[in-house]
Chain A
């Protein structure tokens, strides 16, 4: 039986839970895990290719958070802090695998004339539903980019983090966050190009 996506804890309740966690209250920490486990898992699952590795990384993330929560000073949000731990663990894991995918350079991405031609009837962001084919292509496109681009793309477009939050999680300048996001999307645009032109037959 799956635990369904749980709601983030009440913003007013979270500081009290954190305070209890500082006293090694496992029950309070469990509530924070309930609130963030699926979001962290969703992020890590796409950062680490192997599902078992991903599950291990998420467990490590929460255990490290539990060990270090007395050092959490509240300057950033708990979500930002958890994603930073998760991201660092993902980077450690991917370094072991040493993947170096081919990506666009920013100049080439800007100069490329091959933008996606989106027919008007298909461009309905609010009502857009991904079919299996497009979903597979998006997943494959995300999987084929470097962790540097992937992390920015997932944090911004999937986790709805602001540029500032991402800069905080990844410890990067704001401009770098934006340029990486642009490159990541350009990479994905290339991966989806065929589909959008109706040429892909999967």
Chain B
């Protein structure tokens, strides 16, 4: 019966034995001598300069904490109200009342027209020429072209 219990609680028993051994070792004369030596070490006290510096820091910290609390006192209710309003709007405003943008089609038609004009110009004149440059209306009708022989030959 006892050996069975011992087997199942072996690790606990080992721990207890180790702890008992450790307690005994801690009460050893040599260990106690060291403990007394440490206990009788002189104490070092802080000075007034250190303390007044700490007081200044504490005062600064006190003001900072008060400021943060005051700000929280103002902003927290505002933030809470804003969140609550957003929820209420999302939940209670009927979807049908929400305004939606309906296109008249004029913008799309203009975009398509501009695109088609640009494509046509490209086919006629090639790349790197803008529409403005190929606008025939912009070319003065009276302009005289002094064609050289070489130019005519190239054509």
Question: In the complex the two chains form, is B48's CB within 8 Å of A178's CB?
Answer: no
| Cα–Cα distance between A10 and B34 once the two chains are bound (Å) | 31
Q: Given A42-B44, A116-B30, A181-B26, A192–B37 Cβ distance below 8 Å?
A: yes
Is B58 a contact of A66 with CB atoms below 8 Å? yes
Contact of A153 with B38 at beta-carbon distance under 8 Å, contacts A62-B58, A66-B58 already known: yes
Please tell me if the beta carbons of B32 and A125 are within 8 angstroms of each other in the complex: yes
CA distance A179 to B22 in the complex (A): 7
Partner of A110, one of B25, B34, B48: B25
- In the bound complex, what is the Cα–Cα distance between A130 and B39 (angstroms)? 10
**Tally of A-B residue pairs with Cβ under 8 A?**
130
- The residue from B34, B42, B61 contacting A188, defined by CB atoms under 8 A apart: B34
Give A148 to B153 CA distance when docked, in angstroms.
Answer: 99
* Cα(A153)–Cα(B51), bound, Å: 27
Q: In chain A between 27 and 65, which residues have their CB closer than 8 angstroms to a CB of chain B?
A: 29-30, 33, 37-38, 41-42, 45, 55, 58-59, 62-63
Minimum CB–CB distance from B63 to chain A (whole Å) comes to: 9
Q: B53 on the interface (CB 8 Å rule)? A: yes
Which residues 67-93 of A sit at the B interface, judged by CB distance below 8 A? 67
Known A157-B39, A158-B39: A26·B26 in contact at CB below 8 Å:
no
Q: Which of A42, A63, A116, A129 contacts B40 (CB 8 A)?
A: A129
* B-chain residues with CB within 8 Å of residue A115 when the two chains form the complex: 28-30
Determine how close the nearest CB of chain B comes to the CB of A120; give it in whole angstroms: 10
Q: Which of A41, A160, A185, A192 contacts B46 (CB 8 A)?
A: A41
Contact (Cβ within 8 A) B31 A3 = no
For A41, the chain B residues whose CB sits under 8 A away are: 44-46
Chain B residues near A139 (CB-CB < 8 A): 41
The reply to whether A2 and B47 contact each other, CB–CB distance below 8 Å, is: yes
- Beta-carbon contact of B58 and A178 below 8 Å: no
Cβ distance B108 to chain A, nearest Cβ, rounded Å: 61
B61 touches A66 (CB 8 A): yes
Q: How many residues of A contact B (CB 8 A)?
A: 53
Q: Mark A170-200, 1 if CB is under 8 A from B, else 0.
A: 0000010011011001101100100010000
Instruction: Please measure, in the bound complex, the distance between the C-alpha atom of A59 and the C-alpha atom of B51, giving whole angstroms.
Output: 9
Q: Is the CB of B54 within 8 A of A62?
A: yes
With the chains together, A135 CA to B36 CA distance in Å? Answer: 11
Residues of B within 8 A of A130 (CB): 37, 40-41
Choose one: A3, A5, A118, A192; the contact of B48 (CB below 8 Å): A3
Query: Beyond A66-B61, A178-B19, is A157–B38 a contact (Cβ under 8 Å)?
Result: yes
Contact (A189, B34) CB under 8 Å given A158-B39, A175-B19, A182-B25: yes
Residues from chain B with a CB closer than 8 A to the CB of A179 are 22
In the assembled complex, how far is the CB of residue B67 from the closest CB belonging to chain A, in whole angstroms? 11
State whether the Cβ of B75 lies closer than 8 Å to any Cβ in chain A: no
For A162, list chain B residues within 8 Å (CB).
none
Pick the residue among B39, B46, B58 that contacts A55 (CB under 8 A). Answer: B46
Verify A128–B34 contact, CB threshold 8 A.
Answer: no
Q: Can you list 15 A-B contacts (CB < 8 A)?
A: A3-B51, A26-B58, A38-B45, A58-B46, A59-B53, A62-B58, A115-B30, A123-B33, A125-B36, A129-B40, A154-B38, A157-B34, A157-B35, A179-B22, A181-B26
Task: Enumerate chain B interface residues (CB-CB to A < 8 A).
Answer: 15, 18-19, 22-23, 25-26, 28-48, 50-51, 53-55, 57-59, 61-62, 65-66
